[in-house]
Amino acid sequence: MDWRGRRGSRNIEDRRGQTSRGGAAVGGVGMVALLIIGYFLGIDVTPLLQDGGISQPVESREITEADRAAGEFVSVTLADTEEIWADVFREQVGRAYQPAKLVLFTGATQSPCGGASGATGPFYCPTDKKAYLDTDFFVTLEKRLGAKGDFAAAYVVAHEIAHHVQNELGILSKANQIRSQVSEAESNAISVRIELQADCLSGIWARRAAQAFGSIDRGDIEEAVNAARQIGDDTLQRASGQRPMPHTFTHGTSEQRARWFVTGLGSGQLSDCDTFSTDDL
């Protein structure tokens, strides 16, 4: 993915280097398993990491060159999403797209949807219409989850912005309202449809980015598809030493996530990303 030297977004809120509190009492394989569960199953595992009673003082972290490069990469990727979704909304929705802000942080920060930490992973908060991302997650994505490459990281950004697209279309609020009124198993099933649609929307973004910017090649697309596979609920549960339990899935299987991304990639049409009207996920 050729991103250096390209336009960045102004909708970045950089909180990196601010003070944060951390604690850890779980080491080795146990910590890895907890982080994997937290990153993609939507569970804040910070209390579990602090169970041993070891608490570290509040401290600030220096912004490294790697941090700066990651921030520039996210800014360029976010700018790409803004341009692409503005075009898609104009062509397929008939109205203007209002972009999201993206908060960069290290360690921990606060949002109207609750605390954000390295253990919660990237997420979108519909209340303030902001996506939250600790760029250290890109290291975890590559070294622990087996999803390498710039475009795998870009897919993560595009997926969170896809939740903003859902919010702008009124889909996210309706789905979450229903989730609050049903059983946990039914809520999880709706969550899967939300996430798979976001994967499909990410595919639309990838298709348009390849066409508009000429900065993406076949290898980049393969990186994104691989990333989608690596973060399926079944794969993550196996990686954490569990037997896959479909009733607990909140994001979809590896096969589903990759397939819906490819659906959006091949179609480019919002109408083909309707995961709520199909029985074939």
**pLDDT tens column, 209-226:** 888 876 666 777 788 788
User: Is pLDDT above 90 for 263?
Assistant: yes
DSSP string over 2-13: --TTSPPPS-EE
Which is more confident, 120 or 40?
120
- Answer positive or negative: Cα dihedral of 28, 31, 33, 36: negative
Q: Which two tokens stand for residue 121?
A: 């992973």
Which pLDDT does position 151 carry in this prediction?
Answer: 77
Which pLDDT does position 269 carry in this prediction?
Answer: 97
**pLDDT tens column, 13-35:** 998 876 544 433 333 333 344 44
DSSP string over 240-257: TTPPP-GGG-SS--HHHH
**pLDDT tens column, 264-277:** 999 999 999 999 99
Which pLDDT does position 60 carry in this prediction?
Answer: 55
Q: Specify whether the CB–CB gap between 103 and 13 falls below 8 A.
A: yes
User: Is pLDDT above 80 for 47?
Assistant: no
User: Is pLDDT above 90 for 122?
Assistant: no
CATH class entry, domain 12-273: alpha beta
Closest CA to 266 of 224, 220, 204: 204
Which pLDDT does position 70 carry in this prediction?
Answer: 81
Which long-range contacts link 85-93 to residues 24+ away (Cβ below 8 Å)? Answer: 85/161, 85/165, 85/205, 87/208, 87/212, 88/204, 88/208, 88/270, 89/168, 92/269, 92/270, 92/271, 93/169, 93/270
Cα separation, 152 vs 42, in Å, equals 20
User: Is pLDDT above 60 for 121?
Assistant: yes
Amino acid at 29: V
Amino acid at 256: Q
**pLDDT tens column, 56-73:** 333 456 777 777 888 888
Order of strands across the sheet that contains 12-14: 12-14, 101-105, 130-134, 123-125
What does each C-alpha distance from 88 to 156, 169, 198, 276 come to in angstroms?
20, 12, 15, 20
Which is more confident, 94 or 152?
94
Which is more confident, 81 or 38?
81
User: Is pLDDT above 80 for 6?
Assistant: no
Instruction: Place 89 in a pLDDT band, splitting at 50, 70 and 90.
Output: very high
Which pLDDT does position 128 carry in this prediction?
Answer: 95
Q: Which two tokens stand for residue 140?
A: 């975890």
Which pLDDT does position 54 carry in this prediction?
Answer: 32
Instruction: Place 199 in a pLDDT band, splitting at 50, 70 and 90.
Output: very high
